[in-house]
Amino acid sequence: MGKGTEGVRPLVAGNWKMNGLKAALGEAAAVQEALAGLQGAIAADVMIAPPATLLMAMAHASGAELLQFAGQDCHAKASGAHTGDISAEMLKDAGASAVIVGHSERRTDHGERDADVLAKALAAHRAGLCAIVCIGETRNERESGQTLAIVARQLAGSLPPGATAANTVIAYEPVWAIGTGLTPTLDDVAEVHDLIRRDLEARFGGEGARMRILYGGSVKPDNAKALMSVPHVNGALIGGASLKASDFIAIVRAYEG
């Protein structure tokens, strides 16, 4: 099993983003089948965040004890005149156990601010979902030495005061590494995850010590084991490599043994 989990059960989550038609249900079924074959050997929880159009079919076809499901975003309100939006309650009703909020693509493409992410995390908790709160710096911010300050600011502004280890996961995704094939050094990852852990412990005490901190940003089968072995890395949030069951399971197997 990967080191550095501090007794925290890791989570490996695949974010399919805006990818996947009905034919892609077969990939989720293949993940489910592989997990069934590995049952007892993988010391991690496994999750897929499909597009909303596939969430209900995927969740109803799979055993939640092996494979969990998440939404990719939610509206802050439970219902109302918000054409095209999806509430946390709707995601819960469709079979989700979690929802991603504050992903860098939402922050960049839709102008979401920390306050918006906080509102969505609160909505997730209201609906009984785990909020996977994403944070991370751009390339310009890293090159100008602002990484730790940006991460600390996003943590302070995006996490609800009542966050617990059961209802909140942090996903650190350096924006410049998402989908680019670039990754920070292991020392860079360790530095940021150490800051996040210390910040969480200072704010939430024992709950902060148990919150899962995922790494995301060009995680692949060939680098997963090294990344998952970094102290305070409690799993991964995976993009493109989660679309193929074989690649996704190869990453999950970083926690085999």
Question: Is there a catalytic annotation at residue 103?
Answer: yes
The torsion angles phi and psi of 236, rounded to 5 degrees, stand at -145, 150
To which residue do tokens 């918000």 refer? 82
Q: State the Cα–Cα distance between residues 164 and 4, nearest whole angstrom.
A: 20
Q: Largest alpha-carbon pair distance within the chain?
A: 49
Distances (CA, A) of 251 to 32, 184, 254: 14, 18, 6
Q: Which of 27, 75, 89, 103 is catalytic?
A: 103
Pair of tokens at residue 188: 């860079």
The torsion angles phi and psi of 243, rounded to 5 degrees, stand at -75, -25
Q: Which of 105, 173, 193, 232 is catalytic?
A: 173
Q: State the Cα–Cα distance between residues 253 and 220, nearest whole angstrom.
A: 11
Catalytic residues: 103, 173
